Amino acid sequence: MTADNQFGNYLRNLRESREPLITQEKLGELVSRNKMTINLIENGKNNPPKGELLEAFIKALNLTDKEIIKFRDLAAIARGAVPSDILDYFNGNEALRNAIRRAKDKGLTNTDWEKLIK
């Protein structure tokens, strides 16, 4: 479970921002779970979903591309994992893994990475 509950808060904000409003009960129906499960996720008592269930949330909430990236990232961070949409690419690219290790050893910051990818 996450201490700061960023994923749960983000899920709640997304759900409540939809027009018409999507209740916990309605979201549960859309992803084949009950209202209590949605409540526990939003309150940080259950881990964020992964795999097919994560994708069901994305579809049910009709997320934008930007929202999908943040949704997947927060879910993965809370689980201590790599976001699912980049895992296969990461695992299949030895040069990338080595570059990240070198960057880690050199202490590269977010600012350093931003400069590198521009």
Distance CA 9, CA 108 (A): 29
Cα–Cα distance for residue pair 90/97, rounded to 1 Å: 7
The DSSP element (H or E) to which 105 belongs, if any, is helix 94-106
| pLDDT of amino acid 118 | 84
**Structure confidence at residue 1 (pLDDT):** 46
Decide: 2 and 40 in contact? Cβ < 8 Å.
no
What pTM did the predictor assign? 0.83
pLDDT score recorded for residue 24? 98
| Tens digits of pLDDT across the chain (118 residues) | 445 799 999 999 999 999 999 999 999 999 999 999 999 999 999 999 999 999 999 999 999 999 999 999 999 999 999 998 899 899 999 999 999 999 999 999 999 999 988 8
Q: Which long-range CB contacts under 8 A does 64-73 form with residues at least 24 apart?
A: 67/14, 70/10, 71/7, 71/10, 71/11, 71/14
Dist CA 58 CA 54 (whole Å): 6
